[in-house]
Amino acid sequence: MSRTRLLAGLALLLLVVGVVPVPRAALAAPADPGAFMSDLGNQILGLITNKQLSADQRRAQFKTLAESAFDVPKIAQFVLGRYWRTATDQEKTQFTQAFEDYMVNVYWSRFTSYNGETFKVASTQDEGNGTTLVTTDIMRPTSGQPPVKVSWDIVKIGGQYKIRDASLEGVSQAITYRDEFSSIIERNGGSVAGLITQLKQRTAG
């Protein structure tokens, strides 16, 4: 995995875990995309600090949160790029599941890196086509380093907000995935099945 991908994954982790928990009843209906991002972080922080649950139970609940927060089908289609058009229906289904499991595994593994970072929503901007760009600053008080900017592409689908992409200091996570996966497919002779196998191996490992 590239250094950019590791940084992007870590930044996403630090953002979603670094907020102050609020009662779950207050999380039911975020008023806007900025509130959605804050509420998501609150839920995840509450989950990882819940010592009444086993590690497996927390991981399972985190996966449920991720499935709800991210527009996985659209992200999967984007990151597979031009190969989405040539993939069979079975490959599309298998890739979407393997990609989701891989993302969940990457973000979950980052929880051990949590070290008191917090964040604030810096701005929201209507990008058109139903997309809102939410820009956030990750504060790193323990390290003395300047804030890290992460921007989120948020869409509203069926009355619910979904994340389509996250960019760390201007670097799109979705585009980085797409470039990496395209290289893997090319090294496997254009086989989407080869990428699916690699993602499953990474998740299992």
The per-residue pLDDT for range 159-180, each reduced to its tens digit, is: 899 999 999 878 999 999 999 9
Contact 113, 16 (CB under 8 A): no
Task: Give the integer Cα–Cα distance in Å for 52 and 58.
Answer: 9
Domain assignment of residue 82, given as a range: 3-204
Structure tokens at 134: 């939410």
Looking at residue 46, what is its pLDDT? Answer: 74
Looking at residue 109, what is its pLDDT? Answer: 76
Task: Give the integer Cα–Cα distance in Å for 169 and 136.
Answer: 10
* pTM of the predicted model over 0.85: no
CATH number, residue 91: 3.10.450.710
Task: Give the integer Cα–Cα distance in Å for 75 and 99.
Answer: 9
User: In three state form, how does the secondary structure of 105-155 look?
Assistant: HHHHHHHHHCCCCEEEEEEEEEEECCEEEEEEEEEECCCCEEEEEEEEEEE
pLDDT in tens, the chain (205 residues): 444 443 444 444 434 433 333 333 334 457 899 999 878 877 776 777 778 888 888 888 888 988 899 999 999 999 999 999 999 999 999 999 999 999 888 877 765 455 556 677 888 999 988 899 998 887 766 667 777 788 999 999 988 999 999 998 789 999 999 999 999 999 999 999 999 999 999 998 7
Counting the structural domains of the chain, the total is 1
